[in-house]
Amino acid sequence: MKKRSAIVLLNLLLPLAACNPNPRPTPEPVPRPRPATALALEPSAAEPFDYYLLNLSWSPEFCHSHPNATECSQHSGFVLHGLWPQFNNGTFPENCSTEPGPSNPAAYSDIYPDPGLLIHEWRTHGTCSGLSPDAFFTLARNAFHSVAIPSTLSHLDHPISMPPSQILDLFTEANPSIPRSSFALSCGNNYLTAIEVCLNKNAQPTPCGPIRSCRANTVRITPP
């Protein structure tokens, strides 16, 4: 089946500029979060989904076709795209309720400076989590912070190419508490678009199951 991130990118609203007709895919960029105090979260074990897919988009692919976007002046690398409930059979729930999003979206401007994207992520994915808006976005923020970016990619200053397996090796080495089976890599036309991490409902690593990594021989990575 299609990669989970590709399906979501094709269905994002045009005003959010999360999909692009150009050959290279364009994930929605968001500045890297700052540390934040965690809320006490209860696991949503009764919710009818199996695990979360944490999508960390490589923002230079968005900035390639949107160079004048405000976010691009920050020259970010990996940014939070979303935390998405998934089923073990490879499908996923969407738009599970009409519950309104957080009363103060600005509280999450560190991870979603575009309020429109925050609203989209809540309506499409957060409503399926069984969590309140504040608990959901705090969980997303904490999950994002839990993934260390390899120094090879966090300090990239020139284009490089490497096999997907090598990129996943870098993430496994930088995150010894996350097994290789919990990582997946997304690409489009041999360009890196995202790293994905499979997490259980307590935001702990879990095997990705049906989520497949990019099958390109080599992946091109452009610097921020």
Distance CA 214, CA 157 (A): 23
Active site residue 125: yes
Q: Report the number of distinct structural domains present in the chain.
A: 1
Q: Residue 80: which CATH number?
A: 3.90.730.10
> Helix axis angle, 133-145 relative to 115-124, nearest 10°?
110
Selecting among 66, 81, 120, 196, the annotated active-site residue is 81
Selecting among 61, 71, 121, 196, the annotated active-site residue is 121
pLDDT string in tens for the chain (224-residue length): 444 444 434 343 333 333 333 344 434 333 333 223 223 334 444 458 999 999 998 988 777 777 766 566 667 899 899 999 999 999 999 999 999 999 999 999 999 888 888 999 999 999 999 999 999 999 999 999 999 999 999 989 999 999 999 999 999 999 999 999 999 999 988 999 999 999 999 999 999 988 989 999 999 999 98
Selecting among 28, 71, 125, 196, the annotated active-site residue is 125
Range(s) of the domain holding residue 61: 4-33+41-221
